[in-house]
Chain A
Amino acid sequence: MTESEKKKDKNSLSIDIIGLISSRLSETLQKYGKFELVLEDVIIEADELKIIVQPSMLRQAMAPAVAEEVKVIEEILMTELEEPKFEFVGKIHEVKIGSTKSEGGTRDRTLIVGGETLPPVYRLVGIEEAMPHRPIIGLDVFDMRIGLPRAVKQYVDDVMDDPAEWAKKCVDKFGAELINLHLISTDPYIKDTSPREASKVVEEVLQAVKVPITVGGSGNPEKDPEVFKAVVDVAEGERIVLNSLNLDMKLEDICEYIKNKDCVIIAFTPMDLDKARELNRKLYDYLPKERILMDTNTAGIGYGLDYGFTVMERARLNALKGDPELQQPLATGVTNALAAREAWLKMDPFWGPKEIRTPLWETLTGIINILAGADYIMTMHPLTMQTVNEIVEVLMSGKLGKAEDIMDWVSWKL
């Protein structure tokens, strides 16, 4: 207070002024949290004020204003996360593949896909009925030796000249639950194998393995229907899948032929939902919805998967929102991922050996397809099939994580 006493000596007026100010100060501070002083013909230096105003009084006056600025929270504000409000009204049709002895076939199992009422990931909310069946995975077999990435070829090189042996190896050795047979040699520009010859291969494969099978053509819109006709005749009662019917074919003819045969078909369209609807509409005239799978086409990571992923996701979301023309289970050729050169090309050692990249590319593409809604994926590499199956199992288990497993990951010594 020595300083103020000196001031007092110099100017006895100041104490009155200070008194005047002080009486207002507390009030103003309480009201506004700050104040502005306007005095005419008087000069007061700031330090003079600071000295005169009692700290205790200031604290009292400032207290409410300060508390408003800095909130002190002692306890966590407990809140509950409400479950999402889904607005899905549609349901995907269930499609059964394969036929056992009691059903008139000779397969050792049947596989059912579809039946979803929510997008794929919500199966994991614990709503079991949202996805009653797990996605299935089949391994590709061709009816002739074809060019394959070395990482795949090493597994099947010894059986590539015999489709039946090839299929058998996929089932017995790799554990495939389904075989995707592709009769590509029927292509008029490849070997032009006759429908009769091709159907013999189908018979051999049906003999060699007891799992359900899918039979694909060569992609030739004139030839494929002829091949399919011969194939359904030899596979009568086995509920095989025909891969695939598309808008380039004379659909009336082939549909009329197969409508009373026990088979399922894949409706293929090239990443175009309008076409997918159009094709389904045409097929609905002949076939029950329980016999149609749809393939909206996919591609590998880096090679158009963005299109494939989004068209598939849109197809599934629209179906669940109620679009009756898209409510078919989704089948997809994940093998397309192997077209990505990162999947098979020898690259700088920094990017790792192609033996890893081949199954990796196919596996990741497969999982992304499953996240978009795929019910049936076709793959080539045995490791892809095994890994995707493992992931599907993990996802379907809906198992919860234990906090203590990862709570302190930041301080793990790795």
Chain B
Amino acid sequence: MPWKAVSPIEVYKLLPRTNCKECGEENCMAFAVKLVNMETKLELCKPLLKESKYKESYEKLKTILSPMVREVEIKSAEKTVKIGGEYVMHRHELTYINPTPIAIDVDDSMPKEDIAKRIEFVENFEYEYIGRKLYLDLLAVRSVTNDPEKYKETVKFVSENTGLPLILCSLNPKVIEAGLSVLSDASPLVYAATKDNWKEMADVVKKHEVPVVLFSPGDLNMLVSLVNTYLELGIEDLALDPGTFTGSRGLAYTINAFTKLRWKACNEDYKLTRFPLIGTPIVAWKMINGDVQQKMWWETITATMLMTRYADLLIMHSLEGWVYLPLVMWRFNLYTDPRRPVAVTPGLRTLGSPDEKSPVFVTGNYALTYSLVSSDVESAKVNGYLLVIDTEGIAVECAVPGKKFTPDIVAETLKETGLEKMVKHRVLIIPGKAARLAGDIEDATGWRVLVGPLDSSEIGKFVFEKWKPEVLREIFGEEVL
């Protein structure tokens, strides 16, 4: 059975219905609505947890609200990264829940300064996008030496130098045990149990109560057999790796395997695949022939495809910003709730301290458009007005052919904001990408239209060159400023 939306009433009936507000909501019905929209946690309802008379209801609610893919937590002393927790196969069916974290590897054969450099890369990686900061998430510590002592030392060094959660990577249970022995107050992800080491690895992860990845490259039957075995052993914090093959040596198999596993989990409620999926684009470093650039290129391609097709965690090796930039942006897009457009409120914004002779820019209300335009105008130290029209959260590029950026909407917004009383001139600067609407906007608003640059990064230059009475006179053939 695919996941089905639960009705708030169904949930409400199982809540205490005392409207105690302990959860932070006004009443139990409001809490129920948030619960079915996955916007709050059931555990915030304290009476439900504490009072024994609600025990049965609590269990029932847990079942009907639980995700199709188990949510697994990877913890350091300071930080928790959640993987999985997904309800649906396609984001339009609800929304995706936990953005795919990205881990970068270090290994126990690297000199300390190399490890430090890699940690620094992960920690310092930051990109600002629509007013939000995008980051990398974890470090994966691999054992190349297969020496428990060496590994222990490396894990210790890494944990002392980063607050990020770790993935401990070795197929040798003794090495993993050594790594775990130096991590207190943490719950790293163990990678991995296989058909060969599953028994010893089970003992280790059970003893330390840490989540573990089951790794069965190229053999899905073995993968679900391992799941079956671990569940039988009482180990439930699992993640699955069907093997990441790339290039001509099995990328097709990989994409297919991830899709099949997720299909079974979300659409057929098949309990043996209801776990987070782990992708390892790092394999491109050995599977792809060619120079380093080629390997990095394929690593990011593999990562993008896996992120699009159900990977809940990625382990990578490159140390170049361009490899991760499209990934963290695409991740943000993919995990944006499709039920709400990423939009800002339409209306008039002042940039700097404009006066009656300042330029007026028109743009759409896609959050990205708005943040780019306003930050560009700001950094160019231009004083002006920004008329943000309601393009339903669509970028200008698409809103123009899509009829979301129309002359009528410009005219309407212009009127509503009373801009005509704030400036003396009657000139609108429209985005270069809306150039073809210039004439129609003039007709609809009665204002003259100046077509601005194609990209707002040119606004500073544009204003400097064009926003002068004599230049405008030449353009329009009359005095406008």
Contact = CB atoms under 8 A, between A and B. Distances in A.
Nearest to B234: A71
Contacts of B158: none
Interface in A53-109: 71, 73, 76-85
Interface string B279-317: 010110111000001000100110011001100000001
Nearest to B248: A394
Nearest to B369: A303
Contacts of A33: none
Nearest to B126: A350
B326 A387 contact: no
Contact of B330 (A121, A268, A302, A401): A302
A394 B220 contact: no
A248 B403 contact: yes
Contacts of A76: 195, 198, 222, 225-226, 229
Contact of B90 (A317, A339, A360, A413): A317
A414 B106 CA distance: 10
Contact of B322 (A77, A309, A352, A367): A352
Contacts of B283: 405-406, 409
A319 to B, nearest CB: 14
Interface in B67-123: 90-92, 105, 107, 109
B232 A77 contact: yes
Main secondary structure of the interface of B (DSSP, over half): helix
Interface string A7-34: 0000000000000000000000000000
Contacts of A368: 304, 308, 330
A80 B264 CA distance: 13
Contact of B457 (A304, A309, A345): A345
Contacts of B36: none
B244 A406 contact: yes
B98 to A, nearest CB: 16
Nearest to B124: A350
B256 A121 contact: yes
B267 interface: yes
A307 B398 CA distance: 10
A313 interface: yes
Contacts, number: 265
Interface in B156-208: 169-171, 191-192, 194-195, 198-199
B243 A406 contact: yes
Contacts of B287: 405-406
Nearest to A395: B252
A218 B217 CA distance: 50
A276 to B, nearest CB: 12
A412 B249 CA distance: 18
B395 interface: yes
Interface of B: 90-92, 105, 107, 109, 127, 129, 142-144, 146, 169-171, 191-192, 194-195, 198-199, 217-229, 232-234, 243-245, 247-256, 259-260, 263-264, 267-268, 270, 272-273, 280, 282-283, 285-287, 293, 297, 300-301, 304-305, 308-309, 317, 320-322, 325-326, 329-330, 332-334, 336, 338, 366, 368, 372, 394-395, 397-399, 401-404, 433, 435-436, 438-439, 454-455, 457
Given A303-B395, A394-B251, 9 more contacts: A77-B228, A81-B220, A83-B260, A147-B454, A189-B439, A301-B333, A302-B330, A310-B91, A400-B253
Smallest CB-CB A-B distances: 7 pairs: A270-B402, A401-B250, A401-B245, A352-B322, A306-B333, A124-B256, A302-B329
21 contacts: A81-B223, A122-B256, A124-B255, A189-B435, A189-B436, A302-B329, A302-B330, A304-B397, A310-B338, A339-B397, A352-B320, A363-B301, A394-B251, A398-B256, A399-B253, A401-B250, A401-B253, A402-B218, A406-B280, A411-B142, A411-B143
